A = this chain, B = another copy of it.
Amino acid sequence: MFFKQNYNKTIERQDKMSVNITRAGRAVLHVTDLEAAKKFYIDALGFFETESTDDALYLRGYEEQDHHSILLKKAEKPAVEVMSYKVYSDDELDKIEQIAKKHDLPYKWVEKGEQHAIGRAIRLQDVSGMPLEFYAEMKKVDSLLQRYDLYRGAHIQRIDHLNCLVSDVQKAYNFCNEVFGFRCSEYTEDDEGQLWAIWTHRKGNVHDQAFMNGDGPLLHHIGFWLPEPAALIHVCDVLASMGMAHTIERGPGRHGLSNAFFLYLRDPDGHRIELYFGDYFTGDGDFEPKRWSVHDKTRQTFWGHEAPDSWFDEASTFLHVITGEEVKVEKAKLELYKPDFTI
């Protein structure tokens, strides 16, 4: 009930949309061991190393023309420095500053030159406590889409989405829908019709940003798009042959939600990566979001497999965009569910 209203409002808003966000752009992760990260991300998963320094690793998928979609920085503790969204043009960033001011959100500018290979950016702590960054410009590099001779591991194509645990999904969604124009593709409700999880997008597939009910804010995972199912099977084999089968946390499987063929992995610092393939087009003006009950086993895994506890219980810590300190986690507002039982 609540939902249709929200959704109609969304459509209305898109017509007068002030902020033109294009897509999930990159994640900046802190990792404790760059060599271990290289082995996982480059040697096993097949990310392409655009550039690296003693302190940082800039990685991209084969089709990406932007310098990187994941930036790994050497640090004392694993954490998520920021999740970044690409906007359509530079003047969108000024509109975002106005939003930050209007909603009284902590924010700061990171001028061009302060970060490698990226133009000016604005960082803010959103209403759920997540550190967000917006930028219009990143250094252009060659697409390697047709450099099949370089393909390795999972044949990763591009960043697809970010998925976060938040203590109040409805609040997180309202903000990202009303202010940033993200539209819902699918969502999960509990028996009282409360919003338990939601998948939202700007680029016309199932998601750029998802929220799930949980202690949060925490980054649950970063999703990368694969070119075909065979690449997902192959990377399982590659990981196993390198002695890294333990990094496979869940899958391969088919999501009920999104319909994607998926694999979840944990990097050496515990950050969770989803390899993802095969959702569908969601860009129609009259697209009707798909509702799932929180009790429906098939929403998680269409084939009925249970996810391990770690998938529900573990996620990456965010840092504050101003202080750099760890963002405090609040208890989930709604009950926690695992596919088969309540915890």
Using CB atoms and an 8 Å cutoff, list the residues of chain A in contact with chain B.
Answer: 11, 14-15, 20, 22-23, 43-44, 63, 65-66, 86-89, 136-137, 140, 143, 145-151, 157-158, 203-204, 227-230, 233-234, 236-242, 245-246, 248, 252, 254, 256, 259, 261, 278, 280-281, 283-288, 290, 298, 302-305
Contacts and interface: CB of A to CB of B under 8 A. Distances in A.
B240 A148 contact: yes
Contacts of A285: 20, 22, 86-89, 136
B148 A281 contact: no
A241 B89 contact: no
A240 B278 CA distance: 17
A151 B284 CA distance: 24
Contacts of A11: 89
Given A229-B230, A242-B149, A281-B23, A65 B287 contact: yes
Contact of A284 (B86, B237, B304): B86
20 contacts: A23-B281, A65-B287, A88-B285, A136-B286, A143-B290, A145-B280, A146-B237, A147-B241, A148-B237, A148-B241, A149-B238, A150-B241, A203-B204, A203-B283, A227-B278, A229-B230, A237-B254, A240-B303, A245-B298, A248-B305
Given A233-B229, A233-B261, A148 B280 contact: no
Nearest to A12: B89
Given A204-B203, A229-B228, A236-B254, A302 B146 contact: yes
A283 B252 CA distance: 29
Given A157-B280, A256-B146, A302 B240 contact: yes
By CB atoms of chain B within 10 A, which of A148, A158, A305 has the most?
A148
Nearest to A90: B285
A246 B304 contact: yes
A259 B146 contact: yes
**Pairs of residues from A and B, 3 with the lowest C-beta to C-beta distance, nearest first:** A245-B304, A148-B237, A88-B285
Contacts of A147: 241
A230 B230 contact: yes
A255 to B, nearest CB: 10
Contacts of A66: 284
Contacts of A65: 284, 287-288
Contacts of A86: 284-285
A230 B234 CA distance: 10
Contacts of A298: 240, 245
Contacts of A242: 149
Nearest to A261: B233
A161 to B, nearest CB: 12
A261 B145 CA distance: 13
A65 B149 CA distance: 27
Contacts of A281: 23, 63, 158, 203
Nearest to A11: B89
Given A143-B290, A248-B304, 18 more contacts: A11-B89, A14-B88, A15-B88, A65-B287, A89-B285, A140-B288, A146-B302, A148-B238, A149-B241, A203-B204, A203-B281, A203-B283, A228-B230, A229-B230, A239-B303, A240-B254, A240-B303, A245-B302
Contacts of A287: 65
By CB atoms of chain B within 10 A, which of A44, A150, A229 has the most?
A229
